[in-house]
C-alpha cells in the first residue's frame, strides 16, 4: 500500500533532515508512495511572505516529478536495477525533507523565519542541489519513459541545473531582516519603536490584525521550547516582546471574543479540578507532593515554603519535612489531557527557561515595560467600556506572563485604574470587564511587592470584596476569592482579612452556593482554610456559618470540607462544637468511604467533637451502624496519624459505653446545646 508521511500526527518538533530513513518497500509500493508524496507537495501553497519564488519553484518541480512517477507506475511491471531502486529511495527521503521544510516554513513564526532568512535560503539551495544530483544519475533509459515524459525529465534537469549555481537571499527579505534587528537594538537602548516602521514590518510579514499577532506569539513560544542554543532563545524572547508590543499599539487591545484564536489556552477551559494547583489555581505544569500527601505545582509550593510557611496550605498541617516529591503519574495525565484538548502544555522547566530568558534579555524587558506603560496610559484616558475591556484583558494576559511584567504594570499605576471596574454597576452592564479587572489584580498579587500595593491602594481591597459578595458571574467571585487567598499569604494581611465580616460571609456563600462545575467552591475553601490559621478569625468564621457550610458541601468536596471543619472545631470553642453536631453522621460517612487524607481529617475532627461536646456527641456517633468496624479498619490501614486518631476515637466510644466519661469534657454537649442558636448569626463589625 502507499505510505503517507501524514499517517501519524507529527510531533511538536519536526525531525531534522538527517532523521529520515530509506523505506523498506517493494518496488511498486515505493513508486506509489513517491507519486503520493510528490502530489502532496504539489498541493501546498507557496510561502506568502518569505522565499515566495523559491517555494513556488519547488512546488512546480514536485508537480513534474509526479508526472514522472505516474508514467513509471503505468508502464513498468519489471523489477528495477539496484541503482534505479537506490535512486528512488533517495528521492523519497529528499521529498520528505522538502515537504518538512515547506510545512515548517509555512506554519512557523514569520519573525523567526525572517531572522533565519539566510539559513532558509541555504536549506532550499541544498535541496535543489540534491535533486539535481539524483536526476543526473537516474537511469532514464531503463525506465522506458514515453517521449513526452522524457522531455519533462529534461526540463526538470535543466531547471535544477540553473538553480544550483548559488544560494540567493531575496534582497527585500534581507532588508526587512536588518530593519527588525535595528528595531530590537533600539529597544535595548530604551528607544520606543517608530509606529510607522513597526506597522510596515508587520504588513510585509502578513501580520495584519490581533489574531495574526496571537498566532505569531504562539509560534514564537513554540519555537523557543524547541531551541537549545542560548543565542537563539535570546533572539526569540526579544521577538516575543516586540510582537506583544506591536499587537497593542498597532491593532489596539482586544479580548478573545473579538477575533479568531487558533488554539485554546488552559485558562479558557474547564479542566479537571485535580489538575489545578490549590495555591496558584492554574493548571499544574510540574506537580509535586509534600509531606502531607497533597499535590501542588512546584513553583507555587516552593514560594510558599520560602516565604516562611511550615504548614501544608490545603490541610493546615505542619510539614514533617520540606522535600518535594515529583508526581510523574499526574504530570503524564495532565500532558495527555492537554494533547487531547489541543491545549499547549509546557513543563515548568520550560516555563522557567522562558522567564529566565526574559530577565536576561534587555530588549524583551524594555518591550514588556513599554507594553505595560502603553496599556496603563490608554486605560487612564476616558473611553468606552468596550474599549476599556480590551485594554484590561491585555493587562490580564501580560500580568500572567512573569514577575517582571507584573512589576512593570503595577509600577505604571494600573491598580487604581483597575479598581474602577470592580463595582457592581460595572458588573451588571459589562460582566466580562469586571471579570478581567479582578483577574488582573489576582495575577498582579502573585508578586509579593504587589500585595502591599493592592492592600494600600484606596478602594482596591473593598473592590475585591464587593466582587466576592456580589460579582456578576461565578468566575468573578471565584477569582476574587483567589485574590483573597493570595493576599492572605502575608501574615499581617491574613489577620486584617480575617477581621472583615464581609470577607468571611463572601467566602462562605461562594463555598456553599457556588456551582459544582469549575473550581469556584475550591477557591473559596482554600481561602477559608488560610484564614482559619488565625485564631481570631475562627470565631468570625463560626458566626458566619462556616460549620454549617462544610456540612452542606461535604459530599461534593469531602477533603476540603473536612479539613476546614477540623481546624475550625479545634480552635472555635463551644459554638463551633455545638454547630458540628449535625456534621457527625457526615463525618462518619467520610470515615467509611472517603479518601485516605479525608478519613484522617474526619477521625481527628470526630475526636475533637467528642472530647469537647460531651456524651450526647459520643452517643450520636455510637448510633451509626457499624461505626466501630469502620474505626477498626482505619486503625489497620490508615495513615500513622489516622491510626492514632482512630484508636483515640475507639477508646472514647468504649469508655462512653461503659459509663466512664473521663475523656469527655465535663458538662459535655448538654451545656453546649443550650447556647442560644442566635449567637451563630451575630455580626461582627469589619
Number of residues in the chain: 686
In what helix (H) or strand (E) does residue 169 lie, and over which residues does it extend?
none
What is the pLDDT, as a whole number, of residue 165? 62
> Mapped to the 3 state alphabet, what secondary structure does 215-273 carry?
HHHHHHHHHHHHCCCHHHHHHHHHHHHHHHHHHHHHHCCCCHHHCCCCCCCHHHCCCCH
From CA 18, how far away is CA 404, in angstroms rounded?
40
CATH architecture for the domain at 386-544: Alpha Horseshoe (1.25)
Q: What is the pLDDT of residue 678?
A: 30
Sequence ranges of the domains in the chain = 27-169, 173-254+271-305+319-381, 386-544, 565-660
Cα separation, 310 vs 322, in Å, equals 8
Angstrom CA distances, 174 to 71, 112, 194, 292, 633, stand at: 41, 13, 20, 58, 75
What pLDDT, in 10s, does the model give residues 329-370? 888 788 777 766 666 665 544 444 444 444 457 888 888 889
Per DSSP, the three-state class of 287 is strand
Write the DSSP symbol of residue 667. T
Name the CATH superfamily housing domain 173-254+271-305+319-381. Zinc/RING finger domain, C3HC4 (zinc finger) (3.30.40.10)
Residue 542 Cα to chain centre, angstroms: 35
Per-residue confidence (pLDDT) for residue 8, from 0 to 100: 32
Does this model's pTM top 0.85? My answer is no
Model pLDDT for residues 487-536, shown as the tens digit of each residue: 998 888 999 999 999 999 999 999 999 887 767 888 899 899 889 888 88
User: What are the two backbone dihedrals, phi and then psi, of residue 337, each rounded to the nearest 5 degrees?
Assistant: -65, -40
* Per-residue model confidence (pLDDT) at position 268: 45
Distance between CA atoms of residues 330 and 326, nearest Å? 9
Give the residue ranges of the chain where pLDDT is below 70: 1-26, 76-78, 163-167, 254-271, 281, 307, 339-360, 382, 518, 660-686
What would the pLDDT profile of 211-256 be if each residue is shown by its tens digit?
888 888 888 888 887 777 888 888 888 898 899 898 888 887 766 6
Q: Which residues, at least 6 apart from 91, have a Cβ–Cβ distance to it below 8 Å?
A: 34, 65, 134
CA separation (Å) from 111 to 176, 212, 238, 252, 366? 10, 12, 11, 20, 18
- CA distances to 482, 494, 550, 567, 612 from 497, in Å: 13, 5, 20, 18, 28
Percentage of the chain modeled with pLDDT above 90: 28
Residue 100 CA to residue 104 CA, distance in Å, equals: 6
Provide the pLDDT for residue 3. Answer: 38
DSSP letters of 512-537? HHS-SSSSHHHHHHHHHHHHTTSHHH
> For residue 328, what pLDDT is reported?
83
Amino acid at each position: 500500500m502507499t505510505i503517507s508521511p501524514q499517517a501519524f500526527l507529527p510531533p511538536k518538533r519536526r525531525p531534522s533532515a538527517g532523521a529520515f530513513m530509506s523505506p523498506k518497500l517493494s518496488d511498486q509500493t515505493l513508486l506509489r508512495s513517491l507519486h503520493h508524496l510528490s502530489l502532496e507537495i504539489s498541493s501546498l501553497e507557496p510561502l506568502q511572505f518569505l522565499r515566495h519564488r523559491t517555494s513556488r519553484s519547488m512546488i512546480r518541480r514536485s508537480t513534474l516529478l509526479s508526472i514522472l512517477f505516474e508514467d513509471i507506475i503505468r508502464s513498468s511491471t519489471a523489477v528495477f536495477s539496484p541503482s534505479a531502486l537506490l535512486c528512488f529511495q533517495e528521492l523519497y527521503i529528499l521529498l520528505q525533507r522538502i515537504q518538512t521544510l515547506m510545512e515548517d516554513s509555512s506554519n512557523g513564526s514569520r519573525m523567526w523565519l525572517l531572522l533565519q532568512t539566510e539559513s532558509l535560503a541555504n536549506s532550499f539551495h541544498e535541496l535543489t542541489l540534491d535533486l539535481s544530483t539524483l536526476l543526473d544519475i537516474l537511469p532514464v533509459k531503463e525506465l522506458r519513459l514515453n517521449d513526452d515524459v522524457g522531455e519533462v525529465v529534461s526540463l526538470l534537469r535543466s531547471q535544477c541545473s540553473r538553480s544550483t549555481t548559488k544560494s540567493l537571499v531575496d534582497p527585500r527579505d534581507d532588508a526587512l531582516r536588518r530593519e527588525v534587528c535595528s528595531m530590537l537594538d533600539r529597544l535595548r537602548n530604551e528607544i520606543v519603536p517608530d509606529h510607522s516602521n513597526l506597522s510596515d514590518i508587520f504588513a510585509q510579514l502578513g501580520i495584519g490584525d490581533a489574531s495574526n499577532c496571537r498566532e505569531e506569539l504562539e509560534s514564537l513560544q513554540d519555537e523557543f521550547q524547541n531551541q537549545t542554543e542560548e543565542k537563539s532563545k535570546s533572539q526569540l524572547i526579544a521577538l516575543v516582546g516586540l510582537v506583544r508590543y506591536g499587537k497593542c499599539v498597532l491593532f489596539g487591545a482586544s479580548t478573545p471574543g473579538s477575533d479568531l484564536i487558533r488554539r485554546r489556552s488552559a485558562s479558557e477551559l474547564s479542566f479537571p479540578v485535580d489538575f489545578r494547583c490549590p495555591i496558584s489555581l492554574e493548571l499544574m505544569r510540574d506537580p509535586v507532593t509534600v509531606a502531607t500527601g497533597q499535590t501542588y505545582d512546584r513553583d507555587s509550593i516552593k514560594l510558599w515554603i520560602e516565604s516562611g510557611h511550615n504548614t501544608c496550605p490545603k490541610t493546615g498541617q505542619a510539614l514533617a519535612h520540606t522535600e518535594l516529591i515529583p508526581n510523574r503519574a499526574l504530570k503524564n495525565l495532565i500532558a495527555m489531557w492537554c494533547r487531547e484538548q489541543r491545549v499547549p502544555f509546557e513543563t515548568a522547566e520550560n516555563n522557567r527557561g522562558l522567564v529566565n530568558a526574559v530577565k536576561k534579555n534587555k530588549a524583551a524587558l524594555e518591550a514588556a515595560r513599554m507594553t505595560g506603560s502603553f496599556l496603563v496610559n490608554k486605560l487612564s484616558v476616558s473611553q468606552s467600556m468596550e474599549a476599556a475591556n480590551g485594554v484590561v484583558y491585555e493587562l490580564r494576559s501580560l500580568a500572567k506572563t512573569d514577575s517582571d511584567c507584573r512589576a512593570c504594570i503595577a509600577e505604571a499605576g494600573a491598580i487604581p485604574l483597575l479598581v474602577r471596574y470592580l463595582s457592581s454597576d460595572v458588573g451588571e452592564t459589562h460582566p466580562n470587564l469586571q471579570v478581567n479587572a479582578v483577574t488582573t489584580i489576582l495575577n498582579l498579587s502573585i508578586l509579593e511587592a504587589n500585595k502591599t500595593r493592592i492592600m494600600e491602594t484606596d478602594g482596591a481591597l473593598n473592590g475585591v470584596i464587593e466582587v466576592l459578595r456580589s460579582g456578576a458571574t461565578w468566575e468573578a467571585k471565584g477569582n476574587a476569592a483567589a485574590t483573597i487567598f493570595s493576599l492572605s499569604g502575608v501574615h499581617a494581611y491574613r489577620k486584617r482579612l480575617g477581621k472583615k465580616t464581609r470577607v468571611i460571609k463572601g467566602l462562605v456563600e461562594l463555598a456553599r452556593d457556588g456551582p459544582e462545575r469549575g473550581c469556584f467552591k475550591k477557591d473559596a475553601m482554600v481561602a477559608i482554610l488560610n484564614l482559619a490559621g488565625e485564631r481570631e478569625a475562627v470565631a468570625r468564621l463560626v458566626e458566619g456559618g462556616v460549620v454549617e457550610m462544610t456540612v452542606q458541601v461535604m459530599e461534593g468536596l469531602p477533603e476540603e470540607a473536612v479539613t476546614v471543619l477540623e481546624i475550625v472545631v479545634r480552635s472555635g470553642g463551644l459554638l463551633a462544637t455545638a454547630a458540628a453536631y449535625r456534621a457527625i453522621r457526615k463525618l462518619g460517612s467520610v470515615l467509611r468511604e472517603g479518601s485516605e487524607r479525608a478519613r484522617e481529617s474526619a477521625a481527628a475532627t470526630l475526636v475533637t467533637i467528642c472530647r469537647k461536646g460531651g456524651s450526647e456527641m459520643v452517643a450520636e456517633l455510637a448510633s451509626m451502624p457499624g461505626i466501630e468496624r469502620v474505626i477498626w479498619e482505619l486503625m489497620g490501614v490508615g495513615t500513622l496519624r489516622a491510626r492514632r486518631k482512630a484508636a483515640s476515637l475507639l477508646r472514647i466510644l468504649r469508655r462512653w459505653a461503659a459509663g466512664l466519661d473521663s475523656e469527655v469534657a465535663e458538662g459535655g454537649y448538654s451545656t453546649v446545646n443550650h447556647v442560644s442558636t442566635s449567637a451563630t448569626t451575630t455580626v461582627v463589625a469589619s
